[in-house]
Copies of this chain bind each other. A is one copy, B any other.
Amino acid sequence: MKTLHVELGDRSYPIHIGTGLLDNGDLLLPHIIGSEVLVVTNETIAPLYLDRLLPVLAGKKIGTVILPDGERFKTLDTLAIIYQQLLELRHSRKTTLIALGGGVVGDMTGYAAASYQRGVNFIQIPTTLLSQVDSSVGGKTGVNHPLGKNMIGAFHQPVAVLADVATLDTLPAREFSSGLAEVIKYGLIGDSAFYQWLHENIQALIGRDRAALEYAVEQSCANKARVVAADERESGLRATLNFGHSFGHAIETAQGYKGLLHGEAIAVGMVMAADLSSRLGNISPPEVDRLRSLLVRANLPCKVPAGMAAEEFMTHMAVDKKVADGVLRLVLLKSIGDAFVTAEYGGHLLDAVLQDYCG
Contact = CB atoms under 8 A, between A and B. Distances in A.
Nearest to A323: B92
B117 A151 contact: yes
Query: A36, A92, A93: which has the most chain B beta carbons within 10 Å?
Result: A92
Interface in A299-352: 318-319, 321, 323-326
A257 interface: no
Given A87-B319, A147-B87, A325-B34, A153 B92 contact: no
A142 interface: yes
B117 A87 contact: no
A80 B76 contact: yes
A118 B154 contact: yes
A116 interface: yes
Interface in A17-67: 34-36
A38 to B, nearest CB: 14
A183 to B, nearest CB: 24
Determine the main DSSP class of A at the interface with B: mixed
A185 interface: no
B154 A114 contact: yes
A121 to B, nearest CB: 13
A321 B93 CA distance: 7
A94 interface: yes
A2 interface: no
A119 interface: yes
A115 interface: yes
A152 interface: yes
Given A92-B324, A147-B88, A115 B115 contact: yes
Interface string A83-123: 11001101011100000000000000000001111110000
A325 B76 contact: no
A118 B93 contact: no
Interface string A114-153: 1111110000000000000000000011100101101111
A155 interface: yes
Nearest to A142: B118
A35 B116 contact: no
Contacts of A321: 92-93, 117
Interface of A: 34-36, 76, 80, 83-84, 87-88, 90, 92-94, 114-119, 140-142, 145, 147-148, 150-155, 233, 318-319, 321, 323-326
Given A34-B325, A118-B141, 16 more contacts: A84-B145, A87-B147, A87-B148, A87-B151, A87-B319, A90-B323, A92-B324, A94-B325, A114-B154, A115-B152, A115-B153, A115-B154, A116-B152, A117-B153, A118-B150, A119-B233
